[in-house]
Chains A and B, each alone.
Chain A
Amino acid sequence: GAVVSQHPSWVICKSGTSVKIECRSLDFQATTMFWYRQFPKQSLMLMATSNEGSKATYEQGVEKDKFLINHASLTLSTLTVTSAHPEDSSFYICSATGLYNEQFFGPGTRLTVL
């Protein structure tokens, strides 16, 4: 149990385009999901907290207009990177909170912006 999936696992896009990444909790409902960003050989940095039915809460320094988050249901949160640029290339990881508030992580999405 407690499986979190992400789609796509890998995406390449042109500079200026937008990319949507989905995060799904497959066998449980998650009122809260988190989005993290991981640069190569570095740690995960929390970007935002996504609560079902409400606006996301962004960490300091994260542009909310750049990284649009929607949490439309208890099993789905989406992250849209708008007008992507090469510096947005990174590994994006989501997590979903379980029954006891522990976090289960998705496998990540590698974004490459050309």
Chain B
Amino acid sequence: AQSVTQPDIHITVSEGASLELRCNYSYGATPYLFWYVQSPGQGLQLLLKYFSGDTLVQGIKGFEAEFKRSQSSFNLRKPSVHWSDAAEYFCAVGSWGSGGGADGLTFGKGTHLIIQP
């Protein structure tokens, strides 16, 4: 069974500083990896995804993530955070079903990002 581990429950970063959120996955085949952000009262927003190809993936809002198969990791990074980045971040792994369509996602427990002024 696939699983996702986000080892950091909370992370506090000063505004303007760099950010890295960790994500490790367990999956037997090539994983399909996602990062979502959830703000209070809002739905999940897709930041970026990795299906195949270039292991460094660029997303929205200045985020990027790097897939490292040898480390089973898909860490999210941003060079300079803004106060508006404060939110809950979820890493997720997906797979393709036997019918060719996507299966439901398996989510990590999330990392709560706090931005200090």
Contact = CB atoms under 8 A, between A and B. Distances in A.
A26 to B, nearest CB: 13
B36 A105 contact: yes
Nearest to A33: B104
B117 interface: no
Interface residues of A, number: 23
Contact of A108 (B36, B43, B49, B103): B43
A10 B87 CA distance: 21
Contact of B106 (A4, A46, A93): A46
B31 interface: no
Nearest to B49: A102
A46 B43 contact: no
Between B36, B45, B94, B103, the greatest number of chain A beta carbons within 10 A of the residue's beta carbon is seen for B103
Given A101-B101, A101-B102, A102-B102, 14 more contacts: A34-B105, A42-B109, A44-B90, A44-B107, A49-B103, A93-B44, A95-B105, A97-B101, A102-B34, A102-B49, A103-B34, A103-B46, A105-B43, A107-B41
Interface of A: 4, 31-32, 34, 36, 42-46, 49, 59, 93, 95, 97, 101-108
